[in-house]
Structure 1
Amino acid sequence: MKYIAFGKTGLKVSQVALGTGNFGTGWGYCADPDVSTAIFDAYAEAGGNFIDSADVYQFGQSEELLGTLLEGRRENFVLATKFTRGATPNANPLVIGNSRKAMIASLEASLKRLKTDRIDIYWVHWPDGVTPTEEIIRGFEDLARAGKILYAGISNFPAWRLARAVTLAELADAVPIAAA
């Protein structure tokens, strides 16, 4: 496996990431725990170290399975997860979206499911149509200062909004947007 620098962070990640949207059967299909374990173990044996998940994947089951799979070897992996839509089909409106309240609630729930004390790369999964970019940047900074996330990322946003977020984070001397 080849390793590359993750953006401008200095973090070394495997060139191939393992997406875990198929870990679990919460959506009524995909990989049961045995198949998920086999996929994860094959990836790790090949030298992979970059795991991507989201709270919404299989309604939280993906993160739960990962939490079990990472036990005793968490420090061998770069763990990324995303938030915006919540981990349940009819999530409380206060825990979905990109507000700081939703961000913190989502992170705490992910940390519990993943059985870890921090997320290496925490992504906003989708724009929610209402949360200003400044609020997202402040939320990331709060979480980074608390030691709960190391890097911040923005996914599925239009390029102009991503560029604005990068600029705002730089101007505020906040945790940089390391991933897009």
Structure 2
Amino acid sequence: MENRQLGASGLRVSRMGLGTMSWGTGTDAEEAASQLVAFVDAGGTLVDTADVYGDGEAERILGSLLGDLVPRTDIVLATKAVARSGDGPFSGGASRGALLNALDGSLRRLGTGHIDLWQLHAWDSSVPLEETLSAVEYAVTSGKVRYAGVANYSGWQLATAATLPSGVRLVSTQMEYSLLQRGIEREVLPAAQHHGIGVLPWAPLGRGVLTGKYRTGTPADSRGASPAYAGYVEQHRTERAARIVQAVVTAADGLGTSPLAVALAWVRDRPGVVAPLVGARDTGQLTGSLIAEEITLPPAIRSALDDVSSIETGYPERWPH
């Protein structure tokens, strides 16, 4: 698997990342181990988790696999904080106390002395950004964190965090980005590129819709059939999405590959993107995603997919005319 520089930093990561949102819920420890081995064997290095995935179980599972199954030094370990896990004063949010408490918890569950990429999971309007960034700076200078990033920040939020005086440089932003969700192209992507911040797309397969499996119904074993994820998937089951999925299927047929591989290759090679994060229910699904490594979309197909999935922009994104 090819590697790419993460933003304007010296950190290199595989151009596909392994997501672990379902670990500890829909994916058990045995299956997680199989996924991790398959990913690393394919040359993958970036593994992304969060303190709230599975109420911390995702981090615990991942931590149990590092060392014996996969060397810790073979992994670029990424996790997140800010999302609320309880009602206590330090159980969520971006205050200094909550962040450093979350960091200690992540280190404990992961069984490691440091996090390679620590990400603020969301913007917290109730906390001064200076306080939030001071906690991130402390985490870096203490050696507990190597690099810092954010997730789900709007364009102005990202630009503000990138330019506010602090002793830490943001190297990444994690955002939903796919053929079905191109909203970050309006403000977030230009801000990220301007400030040397790499983009890590989550849900690069349109929450599974771009695989084409929902074209004729809802498979019983899919996330769309799960009470926990049905609403999550339903957001992308629209008439517009159906047209885009059909274009992806047509492109896949012409290239002799899968819709999944086409959709993943499209987002992987968008300007500013470093590594899409792929979360798989099982190793078979992950293997299907890894096939995308063998594909580079021809310009004509890329252009056709750009057109069918285009979003409306105008003022102020396009100014002056």
Q: Which whole-Å deviations, capped at 9, do the CAs of 1:130-152 have from their partners, x for residues lacking one?
A: 01211111111111111110111
Unaligned 5+ runs, structure 1: none
For 1:129 and 1:46, how far apart are their aligned partners in 2?
40
Partner-residue secondary structure (3-state), 2:124: coil
Partner-residue secondary structure (3-state), 1:93: coil
Instruction: State which of 66, 72, 75 in structure 1 corresponds to 2:73.
Output: 75
Report the count of equivalent residues: 171
User: Residues 122 and 149 of structure 1 are in contact (CA less than 8 Å); yes or no, is this contact kept in structure 2?
Assistant: yes
CA shift, 1:123, in A, is 0.5
Aligned equivalent of 2:59:
63
Aligned equivalent of 1:4:
4
Aligned equivalent of 1:20:
20
Aligned equivalent of 1:178:
171
1:165 aligns with 2:158: no
User: Residues 152 and 177 of structure 1 are in contact (CA less than 8 Å); yes or no, is this contact kept in structure 2?
Assistant: yes
Q: Which whole-Å deviations, capped at 9, do the CAs of 1:10-44 have from their partners, x for residues lacking one?
A: 1111000001111112xxxx101111111111101
1:104 aligns with 2:100: yes
CA shift, 1:91, in A, is 4.5
Q: Which whole-Å deviations, capped at 9, do the CAs of 1:75-95 have from their partners, x for residues lacking one?
A: 111111001124x4x352322
TM norm structure 1? 0.91
For 1:22 and 1:2, how far apart are their aligned partners in 2?
25
Superposition CA RMSD, Å: 1.2
For 1:102 and 1:16, how far apart are their aligned partners in 2?
30
Aligned equivalent of 1:42:
38
Partner-residue secondary structure (3-state), 2:156: helix
User: Residues 66 and 114 of structure 1 are in contact (CA less than 8 Å); yes or no, is this contact kept in structure 2?
Assistant: yes
Q: Which whole-Å deviations, capped at 9, do the CAs of 1:40-75 have from their partners, x for residues lacking one?
A: 111011110001000000110000011011124111
CA shift, 1:129, in A, is 2.6
For 1:114 and 1:71, how far apart are their aligned partners in 2?
11
1:84 aligns with 2:112: no
CA shift, 1:128, in A, is 2.6
Aligned equivalent of 1:148:
144
Deviation larger for 105-114 or 8-17: 8-17
Question: Partner letter of residue 6 of structure 1?
Answer: L
Question: Partner letter of residue 77 of structure 2?
Answer: L
For residues 46 and 103 of structure 1, do their structure 2 counterparts lie closer, same or farther at Cα, with a shift above 3 Å needed? same
Unaligned 5+ runs, structure 2: 174-321
User: Residues 153 and 179 of structure 1 are in contact (CA less than 8 Å); yes or no, is this contact kept in structure 2?
Assistant: yes
Runs of 4+ off more than 2 Å: none
For 1:68 and 1:109, how far apart are their aligned partners in 2?
15
User: Residues 95 and 101 of structure 1 are in contact (CA less than 8 Å); yes or no, is this contact kept in structure 2?
Assistant: no
Partner-residue secondary structure (3-state), 2:90: helix
Partner-residue secondary structure (3-state), 2:35: helix
Question: Partner letter of residue 153 of structure 2?
Answer: F
User: Residues 64 and 113 of structure 1 are in contact (CA less than 8 Å); yes or no, is this contact kept in structure 2?
Assistant: yes
Partner-residue secondary structure (3-state), 2:140: helix
Instruction: State which of 109, 124, 129 in structure 2 corresponds to 1:128.
Output: 124
Partner-residue secondary structure (3-state), 2:130: helix
